[in-house]
Chain A
Amino acid sequence: MKNLRSTLLIFVVAALGFGALQALIVAEILDDYTLQILCVAGINVLMALSLNLISGFTGQLALGHAGFMAVGAYTTGVLLVQAHWLLFPALVAGGLMTALFGLLIGIPTLRLRGDYLAIVTLGFGEIIRVAINNFDEILRWAFNSPDMVGWTGGPTGLSGIPGYATNIMVNNPAAFLWIYPIVVLSVVLVMNLIRSSHGRALVAIREDEISAQAMGINLFGMKLTSFTISAFLAGLGGALYAPFIGYLSPPGFDFLRSVFFVIIVVLGGMGSITGTVIAGIGLTFLQEFLRTSAKDAGNGLVVLIQQNLFPSTISAGAWSVDLVPLSQVLFGLILILLMIFRPGGLMGTRELPLTRWLTTPWWRKKESLP
């Protein structure tokens, strides 16, 4: 019953938030560029959520989620471009195909101890990329028709993916209409999953595998289920991504992308859904900020230093610092510092007690449990 209440409350809050954002969009206070970043944030949150399920809640570190995103994105993209499917079935297909991949990859590898799983998932992430690059060639060889039009486009990429709206300039608001509800639904799904007995089994596995096994939990079965669901959600994220960005190419789904999702999960708190949401949105905006403004800010600072401390070098030219690697450096530092000083991330394993806040009347003081 409590679950139902929480779920309904989340829907209400989400709907209100949605309404507010839509109003901002229509009134054009929220411009298209910010909306773009917001949509990317939504997809990142979904991806991080899927990773949190397997890594945060089940304790199995997976380093290849960019590969799952690629599978979902390309499946949907190919279906939209080559087979002219409608949007909704294509999205679902993207998620399902990735779930299948998750199942296939999970069966042999989830028996492995945690460290090995991390490396193997990393390897699969890389292999999926190589496979996409060579997919068309393999197709041509399999069908024995060297002139066949490829499906994935290989290294040239898959372009011209139809967007959420036929008019490309309003693709972002239309994309938002899809991304936001799906992310909310996924959050609700994961939340309910975690609160069920199934979810408690996952947490038990994370805390101590041997004890969990001793308590009768089917270790492999549970891990596999968690991994498959995680793959489905990741595939869904990729599927949403394809019509949003309109163009896919294999280098975009590299290890750096997988690591970005790991950072979101770690920063938010491995085992906290709210943390993932907050960190996902925050880091997406931070990354965009670093792309656009950090360079000017950094160079401004460097020139300032040069002008004041080393004025004799000015004639040779202004120094400039290449700052986009800064985002990567920052992410590396964030990981290290978090793990040493605050391994729980922002939220640890706690969630925002939304239900309690919204259902406890204001005159009732916070109850302290015995």
Chain B
Amino acid sequence: MDIVSLFFQQLINGLSKGGIYALIALGYTMVYGIIKLINFAHGDILMVGAYIAYFVFAAWGFTPGSIFVAVLFAVAGSVLLGISIEATCYRPMRSAPRINALITAIGVSIFLENFPRLIPAIGPNYRDLTVPKLFETIHIGEVSIDPLKLLTLVVSLVLMTLLILIVDYSKAGKAMRAVSFDMGASALMGISVNRTVSFTFALGSALAGIGGVLYMLNFPLLDTYMGIMPGLKAFVAAVLGGIGSIPGAILGGLRLGIAEALTAGFISSKVMDFVVFGFLILILLLKPSGLLGVHRKEKV
């Protein structure tokens, strides 16, 4: 395959993966923006969404109806989970030192990854699913495009647009932005901080849930640890784009996906992880607020 074809092939791979990263990065960035917490457990919400969808498909096969139900249940499940975690584990930490909240998040993540393994129905064994070929591969010259990837990208972009609409134009979105800017003042202004934070978690978890379904359709191998790597990469993406910035998360996610794919395609996949973390270090050293982030001076 010549260079140009390989480039396009990898570009499409990268955009598709990047779309999923972006969906998850959005959740990270919103939560961080509002309560200054890196929600370690966010990647595991992806896992939960994926498993819910798996069970729906395992029971009902692949029909347009079952796909709809799967997504619906996945979103519902993720949202419920996200809100519950926030209410039980993170809310008590709001006034605690940041390091404590981080540790709590790690604890939640470990719990979510391992508790399902105890349940025989989910169990420690990996599960794989044969996703029927929903569409035929498109061949343009030497480039093979799997329409599923395009679909993933399109769905991600649509959801991101929806999110931006909600955040920028709805009342709840305004509340979110207010609370991110200054929690105390927002409360004084009559905004229910708890409700707003829950809403933020709900949005972020919904996105992660759908991200999980998309991830599962692309890579149908499920295991309770499946959310760790995408979660970590999505976090890097969020930081790359500027944590707290929604467009930043989107761009960061897409950029990371492309960088990964191009590195794997043209250099070596072994180097891929180095590149990802290298990016992170570089950005944090050179422009810690990320490419689109706002640098806030800390006042004493």
Contacts and interface: CB of A to CB of B under 8 A. Distances in A.
B114 A334 contact: no
Interface string B82-126: 000000010011001111111110111111111101101001100
A119 B111 contact: no
Given A262-B103, A322-B118, A329-B118, A109 B284 contact: yes
Contacts of B176: none
Contact of A325 (B92, B106, B114): B114
Contacts of A222: none
A329 B114 contact: yes
A12 B132 CA distance: 71
A340 B107 CA distance: 11
A322 B123 contact: yes
A305 to B, nearest CB: 13
Contact of A210 (B89, B228, B270, B298): B298
B226 interface: no
Interface stretch (A26-34, A110-118, A227-235): A110-118
A266 interface: yes
Contacts of B239: 116, 119
The range of chain B's interface size is 35 or more
A322 to B, nearest CB: 5
Contact of B38 (A118, A134, A325): A118
A312 B259 CA distance: 57
Given A332-B107, A340-B92, A340-B104, A322 B273 contact: no
Contact of A130 (B38, B106, B108, B273): B273
B114 A328 contact: yes
A326 B124 CA distance: 11
A77 interface: no
A271 B200 CA distance: 34
A335 B96 contact: no
Contact of A114 (B98, B107, B118): B98
Contact of B99 (A114, A116, A214): A114
Interface string A77-100: 000000000000000000000000
Contact of B93 (A61, A127, A262, A339): A339
26 contacts: A61-B103, A115-B36, A118-B102, A119-B38, A119-B235, A120-B277, A123-B236, A124-B277, A130-B270, A130-B273, A210-B298, A211-B300, A259-B106, A319-B120, A322-B118, A325-B115, A328-B114, A329-B111, A329-B114, A329-B115, A329-B118, A331-B107, A332-B115, A335-B103, A339-B104, A340-B104
